[in-house]
A and B are shown apart, each in its own frame.
Chain A
Amino acid sequence: MTGPHSLFGPLDPAPDAGYVDAPSRKGFFTDTSVCIGCKACEVACKEWNDVPENLYEMLGTSYDNSHSLNANQWRHVAFIEQPAGRSSVGLPPSIGDAAPSRDSVDLGMPTLGAAPTDVPDDAKPDFRWLMSSDVCKHCTHAACLDVCPTGSLFRSEFGTVVVQDDICNGCGYCVAACPYGVIDRRRGPEGDPKVGIAQKCTLCYDRLTDNQRPACAQACPTESIQYGDVDELRERASARVATLHEQGVMDARLYGNDPDDGVGGTGAMFLLLDEPEVYGLPPDPVVTTKDLPQMARRAGMAAAAMLAGAAVSFLRRTP
């Protein structure tokens, strides 16, 4: 943790954390243009990682009923219903056509209403659905890890960020530090041994060490969630967004793929079809510790001023 980019700037996090001969950095590329909102990722994650029930709350806003990423929800499918024409360019009639290298596959998913071909264009629904499976970003510069006072959060050899459950004392600092609002302190259910400590996606650390894909990627029926080497995923993401742009989906954009961005690029990157904030993501997040040297300088100045002020208060005052 002493490199010139240790607080900000591009770097490979595992070697920076001191690993020698670390495996290549692993991550996710979540292509939301093929997400069908099935929530298989949510279920697989809960099953594999033994994540207990989430707060059950009917939100009344969309088909999203898992609310947010939190200590009991390590994958969260955001579900957005938008009026059509909100975006500058609409989606092509069938998003399946957007992947020219392969034919669309019938997944046996239930359909709603009449088959699209039977409906004249002007009678089609005037809205669109956006679905995106959100997850911990496994930042290159992870604020949660930086601020953790116990060393419970650590950088794995795969470049991911993982909580050691038996070390965390539940101070909650990581919760406030995460620029994406991912990590949280577990509040329930009562009796769960991890109540009171910080919890989030581990990128299935225990599967990676056995050369297995994370559970969510394994379960995803449309390959919306892709797992692999971050370098390769970045290339795959760039190729995919180029394909979509070629096909006229000009709203497609990548999120988290830039190693020069405010968090040094993320291990989990996304292809989005609207602005990040529409999906509940910050548009231009910055790791808070980027400013830590200046914070420390200002605190040093204030502390020196306080010491001087105390000394001056006693000057030339004899009792």
Chain B
Amino acid sequence: MVPDAEFTSYYGRPIVKAAPWEHDIAYYLFTGGVAAGSSLLAAGADLTGRPGLRRVARLGSLGGLLSSIVFLVHDLGKPSRFLNMLRVAKLTSPMSVGTWILSIHGPFAALASMSELVGMLPARWQPAPVRLLLALGRPAGLAGALTAPPVAAYTAVLLADTATPAWHDAYEELPFVFCGSAAAASGGLGLIGAPLAESGPARAFAVGGALVELAAERRMERSMGISVETLHDGDAGRWMRMSLGLTAAGAVGAVVGRRSRVLSALSGAALMAGSFSTRMGVFEAGLASAKDPKYTVVPQRERLARGEPVRHEH
């Protein structure tokens, strides 16, 4: 146990402000990940002739996207002005870049999902325009898949590009944690919804994602400095412990239970719940690290004490 760092502050009050975000944003981190991973699985299933997996993945993509939009708009201080996001494209703003990534990915993924939905209609309810939509399913799905990974990855930059200690300190590894988590969650959805004969790729994607998430998360914890404490304490700590247990159990279950529909579905659910817990844990840790001046003062003080203030070199 490391002794508590000595530091001074203004009556213990916070220095940086915590993001004024509700849990909506943590939910969005999860649903955006599900949407991105599902889009990838849907395209693969489409190309390799797995209609069952394609269906659940395309529906997962649509559900993930729609709920993401609801969460994102709802969390704005002025929801009626959400379209103002599109009045500029700013490379220095991960939120602006992310909005454009979603604006490009969303329509393609939604088109593929609409195609899947109308494909579920009886043939006599499929007039020519509907058949056109069916024909667009594959190209739209491929475009959606190619634009999907940035949807999963940018949210890590969104959190890291702040003065929130536990988010900024994690910037090297957080994209891998989030992409792994997205793969685990979307693969998990595939395991829940697809028949055993078709769920192989979803299983591989889910287990691979879970392993990347767990490994990157360990690495992240070693590289963060003292703000890592906020990933272990309080609500964030509970979420992160649940994340570890559920993700590990889900990954093992997905491999061991590969011949059982029930075990596969249970493992898929565990992986999804694990991914959700990761997002909640990282989100809560950031807020906790902003509320305690220790995580702002001590690392900066230690840097100064080492004679390494951040200065521009000429």
The interface of chain A, by Cβ under 8 A from chain B, is: 1, 5, 7-10, 59, 61-62, 64, 68, 70, 78, 80, 143, 146-152, 167-173, 175-181, 183-186, 195-198, 258-262, 264, 275, 277-286, 288-292, 294-296, 298-307, 309-314, 317-319
Contacts and interface: CB of A to CB of B under 8 A. Distances in A.
Nearest to A9: B312
B213 to A, nearest CB: 11
A277 to B, nearest CB: 5
Interface in B73-88: 75-79, 81-82, 84-85, 87-88
B300 A10 contact: no
A260 B77 contact: no
Interface of A is mostly: loop
Interface string B163-198: 110011001111110110011000100000000011
A169 B80 CA distance: 8
A149 B15 contact: no
Given A149-B90, A151-B87, A310-B44, A184 B20 contact: yes
A169 B77 contact: yes
Interface stretch (B204-212, B235-243, B249-257, B268-276): B204-212
Residue in B49, B77, B164, B202 with the greatest tally of chain A CB atoms within 10 Å: B77
Contacts, number: 282
A152 B84 contact: yes
B310 A262 contact: yes
Contacts of B41: 310, 313
Interface string B41-59: 1001001111000000000
Contact of B168 (A59, A80, A288): A288
Contact of A306 (B15, B162, B183): B183
Given A301-B175, A313-B44, A280 B99 contact: no
A185 B20 contact: yes
A314 B78 contact: no
Nearest to B14: A181
B19 interface: yes
Nearest to B47: A314
A295 B208 contact: no
B92 A146 contact: yes
Contacts of A289: 92, 161
Contacts of B183: 306, 309-310
A303 B205 contact: no
A318 B48 CA distance: 7
B8 A277 contact: yes
A78 B10 contact: yes
A179 B77 contact: no
Contacts of A80: 10
B78 A169 contact: yes
Contacts of A186: 77
A259 B171 CA distance: 26
Interface centre among A175, A264, A292 (most CB of B within 10 A): A175
